[in-house]
Amino acid sequence: MNLIAIVCIILSSHFQSLNNALNAGLSTSVAQSQGKTFKVQSLPFDLNGLRLQYQYTVKEDINSANPKEMVLVLDKKLVDLKRNVVVLDFPIEQEDLNPTINLSDINKVKYSHIDFDDVNFDGYKDIREECKLCSGSLGNVEEIYLFNRDNKKFVRWQSVMGINVELDEKSRTVQCYTKGAGDGQFEYQEIKFIDHGIQLYEKRVNSIFLNEKKHTYRITYKKYAGKKLVAHKARIVTRKEIYDPWDVIAEITK
C-alpha cells in the first residue's frame, strides 16, 4: 500500500470521527432545545369498580421561565391498574397549539368519585374533559366519554354538542347551548334518558340569520327518537318580535 493510500485512509477515519462527534453534539443540542421528556401520573383512585390512574408523558417547556414546572402534555391515558388495561386514550391536540400546564396540576393529583358526573344517568360515572383551546366566545367546550358497562372502558359520546353542558338529574336531561356573538343566532340541544342510560329522545333547535335589513331569522326544530325524525318545525322570526332565545325554544318545542 503506497503513502497516498495510507494518508487517505487516515484522513477518512479522522473525518468520520469528527462527523460522528458533530452529529452527537448536534443531537444533544437538539434534545436540550426540545426539553426533557418524562412520565408522571395521578394517585390511584376507585371509580365504577375499577382501580384507575391517569398516566401522562410530558415535556419541559423550555420557553417558560421555569421549564421544570411548566410542561406540554404529549400523551394522556386512563389506566385500569388491576387489569393493566388502557380504558381511555385521550386525543392530544397539536403540540404547537397545546398550551403549557403546571406540572403540579397533573402529578400525584388525588381524585375521587365526587370529581366525576353520571352524564347519562345510568348509575356509572363518566368523564368530562374540557377543551381549553376550543372554549372562548362560544362558551365552555368539552368532550364527554361515557362508561361502557360491558367492556369497562370509556367511549367518546359523539352525538352531543358538548358546549355549555348542563345536567338536570331530576328530568334526566342533558342540555347544550351556544349563541353567536350578539347576532341573534343560537343552537340548542336536549337529550333525555330513561332507566339504564337508554336515550329516549334528542331535540335540536337552531337559529340562522337570514336577512340583515329585515333582521329575520329562520328557526328550525327537530326531534329524534333514536335515528328516526319524529317532529320537524320551522318558522321565521324578526327582531320586531320578542326575541329571547329561551322563549323561542320553549315555544317551538311545545
CA dist 46 and 226 (Å) reads 33
Query: What pLDDT does 200 receive?
Result: 96
Count of Cβ atoms closer than 10 Å to residue 141 Cβ:
19
10-residue mean pLDDT series, the chain (254 residues): 36 43 39 74 98 95 82 94 97 67 94 96 95 73 95 96 94 91 81 95 92 82 95 87 81 91
The dihedral through the CA atoms of 115, 118, 123, 124 has a sign that is negative
CA distances from 250 to 41, 113, 201, 207 (A): 46, 35, 16, 14
Amino acid at 88: L
Query: What pLDDT does 46 receive?
Result: 97
Amino acid at 173: T
Query: What pLDDT does 187 receive?
Result: 94
| pTM of structure | 0.80
CA dist 13 and 32 (Å) reads 29
Query: What pLDDT does 180 receive?
Result: 66
- Give the phi and the psi of residue 28 in degrees, each rounded to 5: -65, -40
201 by DSSP, 3-state: which? strand
87 by DSSP, 3-state: which? strand
Cβ(205)–Cβ(196) under 8 Å?
Answer: no
